Amino acid sequence: MTNSITAYRKHRKFFATDALTQFINASENLVVLTGAGCSAHSGIPTYRDSRGHWQRSDPIYHQEFISKPSSRQRYWARSVIGWPNVANAVPNAAHYALAAIENVGKIGLLVTQNIDSLHQRAGHKNVVDLHGRLDRVVCLGCGAASSRHALQERLLIANPQLPKSGDFAPDGDADIQIDVTTIDVPSCTECEGILKPDVVFFGDNVKPKIVQSIYQSLSNSDGLLVVGSSLKVYSGFRFCKKAAELGKPIVCVNPGVTRGDSLYKLKVKADCVKVFSNLIEPLELK
């Protein structure tokens, strides 16, 4: 009996992967929801450990960024160091596999909680950036959009005192030691308004029309595939709840505990890059 249990534990991830392959092969219109675990192998840190516990310093909140100049100074000082890690990141096997699965018509929509645009860089076409994109900047005054690359140059020129490196953190952040009151934050070149990354900060909300559009896609789908997300944040978890309400099968690939564990038809408890690295060949991508 003990040997049988040991063998099962050793091989159950392979059994689950086979079931995942069958699930994808049998589908023609999946909605995929991805999280930070999907980009971890691209060198972008995650907020939580495998048990879903927070392991980083407190993130910046929307109202804090809007109302406090010192918070904006702190954010941009850290972002100057952390942004290149996101800008230079390259897609990994999970990104490329999902793009390949979309390419043969099995994925109708991919919703990502990540702000790194790695799915698009891997060739994925129909992507909803649920929390925005870090490579874009918007003016809170006139609404003008601009490039994060261009702002990086302005920040570096205005702040030669910034350190050259720091410990990378999630979402283009970095841990650095500096007096943030010395930071000169550039303003909008059109109206001198406040510049903000085009992302949804903690404490802000995803636009209702985006949520409703995803709900409609779920309603028309064959099921929901969750990849690399603990679903601790409600903005992502709500789509699991909606899929369950609609009676859609939900499958998850994630190595640790997630908020949706009780809702899944199948959970592959493994690193998503390792799973998808071995998944393409068994799939019927023809």
Catalytically active residues are: 131
Helices (H), the chain: 2-25, 62-67, 69-87, 93-103, 118-121, 148-158, 208-219, 234-245, 272-277
* Contact yes or no for 30/108 (Cβ under 8 A): yes
* Strands 30-34, 145-147: pairing kind: unpaired
- 140, exposed or middle or buried, with CB in 10 Å at 0-12, 13-18, 19+? middle
* Single-letter residue type at 63: Q
CA angle 13, 89, 225 (to 5 degrees): 35
Could you give the angle at the alpha carbon of 180 between the alpha carbons of 178 and 183, nearest 5°? 110
Q: What are residue 112's phi and psi, to 5 degrees?
A: -115, 140
Do the Cβ atoms of 250 and 275 come closer than 8 Å? Answer: no
C-alpha 241: how far from its chain's center? 19
Cβ partners under 8 Å of residue 259, min gap 6 = 52, 230, 231, 232, 237, 240
